[in-house]
Structure 1
Amino acid sequence: GGILADDMGLGKTLQTLAWLLWLRTPSAPPQTPDAGPRPLPSLVVCPKSVTDNWRAEVERFAPGLRVKVWSGTAAEDLPALTGTADLHVLNYTQLRLVGESLARTDFQAVILDEGQYIKNPSSQTAQIARALRAEHRLVLSGTPIENRLLDLWSLMSFAMPGVLGSRAQFTQLYDAKEDPHARRRLSARVRPFLLRRTKSQVARDLPDRVEEDLYCEIEGEQKTLYRAELKRAQQMLLKVSTQKQLNQDRFHFLTSLLRLRQICCHPRLVKADSKAESAKLEALLDQLEPLMDEGHKVLVFSQFVSLLDLLKVALAEKGWPVHYLAGDTENRGAVVRDFQAQPGGSVFLISLKAGGFGLNLTAASYVVLFDPWWNPAVEAQAIDRTHRIGQTHKVIAYRLLIKDSIEEKIRALQKTKRALAEDVLGEEKFAQALTLDDLRFLFAD
C-alpha cells in the first residue's frame, strides 16, 4: 500500500486505472490462495461529486474494466454483488452505511480518492476504512497534510498499517515540536510509501497560473452591519484572558467570525430582508462583464450555498449562462459535461466543499474565489479544477477580499501558518485551531 500524493491535476485517477489493469494481468503479484482463478474486484471510495468522473475515466481509458457506480441506498446490496463488476465506486457517505458488512468482503485493491476524508483517525469513516480487507491499499490525495501531522498518520494507518507506529509513538517520534530533527525523520520514514510529484517537476509545459487579490470597500448598511458585529465580538473578547476561558466560549467566537465573513459576502446572508448592496457582488459583475463579452468560461467558488443562490439570480438577470453545483445537486456529471461542452462564455457557480476537488473543468481559464477559506490547500484545490493536464490557456484566479476586514486577516494567517506541510511534503496548508492570540488579531480594528 501507499499514498499517491501527486500535485492536483497530474492524473492520479489515470495512474490508478493503469495500476488496476496491471494488477489484473498474469505478471501481477498473486492474490490470496483461496481467491479463485478470477481476480477479485476492487473498490474506490470517493466524494459524491466525483463518482461520475470515475465512471467516465474508466470508460475512456480502461474500457476492459467493468465499473459499477452505486447510487444512494442501493449500495446496501454491494456486499452480496461484488462479482457483478471489476471496480465498484462508492461515496464516503455510502461507505459509512455499508461499511460493517463490507468489512467481511475481500477486494483486490481499495482506493480512497481524496483520502483526506479519513484525516481524523477517530472518525467513523477512518475506522471503517481501516477495517476493509484488501491485498492492496492506495490513498489518493494532493493534500495528505491539511491541518496537522496526525492527518498523515491517519492516511498511513490505512495504507500501510503500523509503519508509523501507534498514534502515541507517532506523536513522540515525529510530532515533538521541541525536536528539530523530528520532521526529517518523518520525511525519511514515509518516502518509500509516498509518491509526490509537483507540476513544476513533471508538467513544465502546463500553462502559467496567476493569482491576484482584488480588494473591495464596504459602505452604507453593509459597513454598519459589519462594524456592529465586530464591536460585539470585541466586547466578548475583553472578558477572556486564558485559553481555558476561550475553549468554554469558543462557539460564540466562531459564530461571530462566521457572521463577519458572511457580511463581507452579502448583507442578506445575515439579514434576509436587507436591501443593502454587496460590494463583492458589484465587483464580481464588473470582473465578469468583459469576460462574458469575450466568450470566456469562469468558475466562481464560495463556501456559502445561500450566497451562490443570490449570485445565480444576479447572473441570470444579466442574461449570462449559469451552471450550478452544490452538495444537493443531482446529475453532477451531466452538469459538468454541459459546462465543458457549451460554446461561448458561461459561469459555473460551485460550492467550495462540494466541488472544490475531483472535478475536471479545463474549459474554464478564469477562477473567482468569492470568499477566503482558512486552509489555503482547499483554495488551491479549487483553482486546480482548471489548472491541470488538458488546460491550454493561462489560468487566472482572483480572490475577492474586503479591505480592512476579517478577510484580509484570514489571508495573513494563511501566509504565516504554512510551515508544517512544507517541512514534510513541500506544499501549502493551514494550522490547527485558532488560539487566543489569533482571535485578538482577527477581531482587532
Structure 2
Amino acid sequence: MAVLPDDTADWSTVVAGDWLKDALEGLRNPHNAHSKAHPGAELKAQLRPYQQDGVQWLWWLHRLGLGGCLADDMGLGKTVQVIALLLLAKQEADPGPHLLVLPASLIGNWQAEMARFAPTLRIFVAHSSAQPSKTLATLPAGQLAEWDVVITSYGNLIRLPWLLEIHWSLVVLDEAQAIKNPGARQTQAAKALKSRVRFALTGTPVENRLGDLWSLFDFICPGLLGSDKTFSRFARLLEQDERLGYAPLRKLVQPYILRRLKSDKRIIADLPDKTEVKAYCVLSRLQASLYQQAVDALAQQIESLDGIARRGAVLAFLMRFKQICNHPSQWLGDGAYAPDDSGKFARLRELAEAIAARQEKVLIFTQFQEMTGPAMDDK
C-alpha cells in the first residue's frame, strides 16, 4: 500500500461522483431514497415506516451486491422485512434459490410467517422435521430450481454437504449470533456458503465482546474488518484512545449495519400499544414419538367409548398432549427434564438469552407450576 508524502496529502482530496454519492446516501439514510422499494400487493402486511426504511436498505444493498446486518431490537419485525426483500427479489427477476439458515426451533415460525405474509413464495424446508433424512442426504441440487426459498438449520450446514456446493443468490442467517465463535464448525460452514449477497439478522450484534462483531462481518463483508488478529489489535487501540473511542469503528461499519431500538422515541411513537408475536416451536424427536403414541391410543379408546366416557377420555388426552408439548418428563414423571428433549425449552432459552443480552426483564407464564423449576434450571 503506497503512502502519500505529507506535502501531497495536505492538498489532495477524494470526492465521490454522482453514482457513488447516491449509493452511499442510500446506505446511510434509506429513508431519503428517491424511490421506495415495496413488493406491493403480494406482501400481505402493512409495513410501518421504519420497516419500509429497512426494506429499502436491504434492497439497496442487494442491488449493489453488498452484505449487511439487520440488527433491530427483537419485536420490531426483522422477519417481515426479509420476507418483503425476498418478494422484491422474485419480482425483479432474481428468483433464487435463496437460503435461510436459522435455529431449528425457528423453522416453524418462519414457515408460518411466510405463509401469512407471502403465500406466493415457494418454500422448501431442508430439515428432518419436514423431509425424511435419507431424502435430504441425497437430494439432487437441480430439484431446488423450482423453489424460491430453501429453509434449513445451522446444524444441517454440517450434515448436508450439498448446501455448501450450491451457489445461492441470497443467504440470510437468522439469530446470527450463532456464528459469533469463529472456531465453531457451524460458523465455518456458514462462512463457506457460496452466494452473491449475504445478510445477518440479530438483535444482539455484540453480545460479550467486539470479536462477536468481527465474526458477523467476516460473514457478511469478508475482509472489511481484516483478519481476526488484525481486528483484535485495532480494537485494543480504540480502547486506549479516550478521545476517539469507538467512533472510527462505528463509521466503518455504519453503512452495513442497520439497528433500531424500541427505546428510540421515533420508533416507539410509531408502534401500537401492544404487539403480539407468536413463536412457534418444533417438537423434539422424543416429543413427536410420545405425541404420536398418544394420538394412536386416543383413537383406539374413542372407538369403544361413547357419551360422557368418550368426552372424559378426550379431555384426559388433551391434558396429556399439553404435558408432552411442554416436556416429555412432565408426562413421563421421570424428573429428568433434559433440555434437548423439549422444543419449548429450546425456544424459551433463545428468547431469554436475547432479552438478557439487552439487560431487559421478562415475565414467563405457564399453566403448570411444576414446569417453572425445570424451565429456570435450563436457563
Whether TM exceeds 0.5 here: the answer is: yes
Per-residue CA deviation, residues 53-83 of structure 1 (Å, 9 max, x unaligned), is: 1111111111111011222234324562322
Residue aligned with 1:135, SS: strand
Correspondence for 1:50: 106
Alpha-carbon distance in 2 for matches of 1:57, 1:64:
12
Please list, as runs of the form range in 1=range in 2, the aligned pairs for 1:278-427 lying within 5 A after superposition. 327-329=340-342, 350-351=344-345, 353-357=346-350, 376-377=356-357, 380=360, 383=362
Correspondence for 1:203: 268
Alpha-carbon distance in 2 for matches of 1:384, 1:160:
37
Please list, as runs of the form range in 1=range in 2, the aligned pairs for 1:38-437 lying within 5 A after superposition. 39-72=95-128, 73=133, 74-78=135-139, 80=141, 81-98=143-160, 100-176=161-237, 177-180=239-242, 181-201=244-264, 202-204=267-269, 205-207=271-273, 327-329=340-342, 350-351=344-345, 353-357=346-350, 376-377=356-357, 380=360, 383=362
Shift of residue 40 of structure 1?
A: 2.2
Alpha-carbon distance in 2 for matches of 1:51, 1:140:
15
Correspondence for 1:253: none
The two structures have a TM-score, normalised by structure 1, of 0.47
Per-residue CA deviation, residues 68-112 of structure 1 (Å, 9 max, x unaligned), is: 1222234324562322421111111111112x4322211111000
Residue aligned with 2:200, SS: strand
Give the gaps of 5 or more residues in structure 2.
Answer: 1-66, 276-325, 366-371
Shift of residue 311 of structure 1?
A: 11
Equivalent residues, number? 238
Shift of residue 13 of structure 1?
A: 0.7
Alpha-carbon distance in 2 for matches of 1:152, 1:160:
11
Residue aligned with 2:229, SS: helix
The code of the aligned residue for 1:15 comes to Q
Alpha-carbon distance in 1 for matches of 2:136, 2:358:
29
Alpha-carbon distance in 2 for matches of 1:194, 1:312:
47
Question: As a proportion of its length, which structure holds more helix?
Answer: 2
The code of the aligned residue for 1:88 comes to V
Give the gaps of 5 or more residues in structure 1.
Answer: 32-38, 210-304, 314-323, 333-349, 359-368, 387-399, 402-406, 408-445
Cα distance change of structure 1 residues 78 and 126 upon mapping to structure 2, 3 Å threshold = farther
* 1:44–1:112 CA contact under 8 A, matched in 2: yes
Correspondence for 1:3: 69
Question: As a proportion of its length, which structure holds more strand?
Answer: 1
* 1:5–1:196 CA contact under 8 A, matched in 2: yes
Alpha-carbon distance in 1 for matches of 2:363, 2:262:
11
Residue aligned with 1:3, SS: strand
| Aligned residues with identical type, % of pairs | 37
Residue aligned with 2:241, SS: coil
The code of the aligned residue for 2:125 comes to V
Residue aligned with 1:164, SS: coil
The code of the aligned residue for 2:203 comes to G
Correspondence for 2:42: none
The code of the aligned residue for 2:153 comes to N
Shift of residue 122 of structure 1?
A: 1.5
* 1:115–1:140 CA contact under 8 A, matched in 2: yes
Shift of residue 175 of structure 1?
A: 3.8
Correspondence for 2:311: none
Per-residue CA deviation, residues 254-310 of structure 1 (Å, 9 max, x unaligned), is: xxxxxxxxxxxxxxxxxxxxxxxxxxxxxxxxxxxxxxxxxxxxxxxxxxx99x957
Deviating above 4 A after TM superposition, structure 1's stretches of 4 or more consecutive aligned residues are 206-209, 308-313
Cα distance change of structure 1 residues 208 and 121 upon mapping to structure 2, 3 Å threshold = same
The code of the aligned residue for 1:190 comes to V
Q: What is the root-mean-square deviation in Å for CA atoms of aligned residues?
A: 3.6
The code of the aligned residue for 1:131 comes to A
Cα distance change of structure 1 residues 60 and 96 upon mapping to structure 2, 3 Å threshold = same
1:20 aligns with 2:80: no
Alpha-carbon distance in 2 for matches of 1:41, 1:374:
30
Residue aligned with 1:199, SS: coil
Shift of residue 18 of structure 1?
A: 0.4
